[in-house]
Amino acid sequence: MLKAANPDRPDLLTWVFLVLGLALLPVGLYVALSAPPDVNQGYLARIMYLHVPTAWLGYLAFFVTFLYSLLYLFRQDPRHDRVAMASAEIGLVFMGLALVTGMLWARPTWGVYWTWEPRLTTTAILFAVYVGYFLLRGAIEDPELRRKAAAAVGVLGFINVPISYMSVKWWRSLHQTQSIDLTTGKIHMAPEMLQALLFNLLVFTLLYLAFVRLRGFVALLEARKEEA
């Protein structure tokens, strides 16, 4: 007998993503610690296996926010706004982790935790934009106006993502260039290090998918409460 999906709890796919992500997380840690040291930075480079995936997932999350914000502006469907908001929130967490791990990497490499070089500056601006996204959502009481204003920020704010990514190429920067260059397809990593990085990227992607779906479900409950 077929039954309708229960909208009052997360679906099976959400739990699959979450369980797989959490189960593979310690494996990712083991793979990262087992990867060979870098010829220049030694074992310090292992921070990369956390720093790079969190930065990539931050970029991905903001792209999803951009996409669903556009969809909301065209279709006025509150579901699209909930996905955009959920992805922005999880993206903000990932980008915050990227900033913290980047600072921990910078201290022994550059001698300081923070310097206003192009990559760090553009990433900090990107982080601030999405903090503003949530401040805006919290400041507007009318649900429809809130969704439209947030969608506008979600679309315009994404402009900072390619600027942040390309900053190491466009301006003189202390930050190293991309180990995996998406603009050229070139990979500047040893195969063993690349495998460890991609595995951890997979793990964090599974967690991202699970967290966004869970946050979207919570947003649905919040919307129902607001309507009531």
Per residue of the chain (228 residues), give pLDDT as tens: 333 344 567 888 999 999 999 999 999 999 999 988 877 788 888 899 999 999 999 999 999 999 999 999 999 999 999 999 999 999 999 999 999 998 988 888 888 888 888 888 899 999 999 999 999 999 998 999 999 999 999 999 999 999 988 888 887 777 777 777 777 777 778 888 889 999 999 999 999 999 999 999 999 888 888 776
> φ and ψ at 113, to 5 degrees?
-75, -30
* Domain assignment of residue 190, yes or no: yes
* Domain assignment of residue 79, yes or no: yes
CB of 33 within 8 A of CB of 200?
A: no
pTM of the predicted model over 0.85: yes
CA dihedral 59, 62, 67, 71 (to 10 degrees): 170
* Domain assignment of residue 109, yes or no: yes
Domain range holding 144?
A: 46-221
* Domain assignment of residue 14, yes or no: no
* Domain assignment of residue 179, yes or no: yes
* Domain assignment of residue 199, yes or no: yes
Locate 220 and state its tokens: 């649905």
* Domain assignment of residue 2, yes or no: no
Q: What is the DSSP letter of 4?
A: -
* Domain assignment of residue 24, yes or no: no
Locate 82 and state its tokens: 């909930």
Number of domains in the chain: 1
CB of 35 within 8 A of CB of 193?
A: yes
- The size of the chain, in residues, is 228
Q: What is the DSSP letter of 117?
A: -
Q: What is the per-residue DSSP string for 8-54?
A: TS--HHHHHHHHHHHHHHHHHHHHHHHSPPBTTTBGGGGGHHHHHHH
> φ and ψ at 180, to 5 degrees?
-120, 105
* Distance, CA of 156 to CA of 151 (rounded, Å): 9
